[in-house]
Amino acid sequence: MRSHRRRKQIATAKMAEEQKESSQGEMEGVNCLAYDEAIIAQQDRIQQEIANSNPLVSDRQDLSVLQREYAEDDTVYQLKIKDLYKKYSYIRKTRPDGNCFYRAFGFAHLESLLDDSKELQKFKAVAAKSKLDLVNEGFTEFTIEDFHNTFMDLIELCEKQPSLQELLNSFNDQNVSDYVVVYLRLLTSGYLQREHVFFQHFIEGGRSVKEFCQQEVEPMSKESDHIHIIALAQALNVSILVEYMDRGEGGTVNHHVFPEGGDPRIFLLYRPGHYDILYK
């Protein structure tokens, strides 16, 4: 009797054990599949949220919006914003999506050329020739063509002296805007590779300039550093001033002109990880 009961108990325990095992196996499989999807879905949600609350390029706003972004007792930033006030009055924000430098540069430069047709023509010539330089460097013509055409279309739009709103609309059209970003990335990459002997010294991690370009310049959403800015400024022969605002002590905002000694027409505000456009 007792042994019978024992056997039964064992059998039940065995069954429970088996059941547990198999359900665990299934759960694990489903979890694996669901895991990546969950991450991707979350990333998409975050991207979407950022997109909903930030246009690709915003309207021009009074610099006071910056002041409201930081707590009143955040003395480091409040002092630096006061310092910015001495030189600038307005700000135009860009979407923080990793492409902000290129978008800010692209928009600010074309905007500055709207009422300077002589400079615009000069820039158009440089831009028109740039595709050939890239092709000569080994970029495939039929793949970079669309990006170049979009970029040239925008320059031609500027020739027609459109309203600022029209330019802004183009830069807020995701297709157009992203294609411009791709082309500016290609120009940056092309210049870095052309001058690879010089730039090799500034690349960390034992990578070649080519590898650096393929990992940090050409893919979308890769953030930009000094080296990208220098390369793009020189590739297009445009001077860029960047104001650096971070948690560093001192109460003043430091700036840097790319390339050094230039006469900048474009003013960007850098806060760690992000670029916006400044106006005097």
Partner 1 sequence: MENKYNLRSPAVKRLMKEAAELRDPTEHYHAQPLEDNLFEWHFSVRGPPDSDFDGGVYHGRIILPPEYPMKPPSIILLTPNGRFEVGKKICLSISGHHPETWQPSWSIRTALIAIIGFMPTKGEGAIGSLDYTPEERRTLAKKRSLEFCCETCGCTMHSALLALSHNSNTSPQDHKAKELAQQINFKAESSSSRQPVENGSEDRTSTLTQADNSTSAGQKSSFVSQAGEAQMPPATVVEEPQIHTATSSTCPLSPRQRHTQQHTQHAQHDQRDGPEPTVSIVALTPTPQQPQDRSHAGSAVLIVVLTLALATLIFRRIYLAHEFDYDL
Closest to partner 1 by CB, 209 or 242: 209
CA 219, CA 181: separation in Å to the nearest integer? 10
The residues assigned a catalytic role are 97, 100, 274
Measured from the CB of residue 175, what is the shortest distance to partner 1 in angstroms? 5
Contact (Cβ atoms closer than 8 angstroms) between residue 184 and residue 131: no
Stretch that binds partner 1, among 63-71, 103-111, 207-215, 244-252 (CB under 8 A): 207-215
Q: Which of 46, 105, 70, 47 is nearest to 270 (CA)?
A: 105
Instruction: Kindly give the residue spans of alpha helices, DSSP state H, lying in the chain.
Output: 2-53, 64-69, 75-85, 100-113, 117-136, 141-159, 164-171, 174-194, 196-199, 209-212, 226-235
Closest to partner 1 by CB, 11 or 65: 11
- When asked if residue 219 is in the footprint of partner 1 (CB under 8 A), the reply is yes
Closest to partner 1 by CB, 12 or 64: 12
Closest to partner 1 by CB, 2 or 160: 2
CA 54, CA 271: separation in Å to the nearest integer? 16
Query: Whose structure tokens read 């290129």?
Result: 102
Q: Per CB under 8 A, which of residues 23..62 are in contact with partner 1?
A: 24-26, 28-33, 35-37, 39-41, 43
Interface residues with partner 1 (CB under 8 A) are 2, 6, 9-10, 13-14, 17-18, 21-22, 24-26, 28-33, 35-37, 39-41, 43, 139-140, 142-147, 175, 178-179, 182, 186, 211, 214-215, 218-222
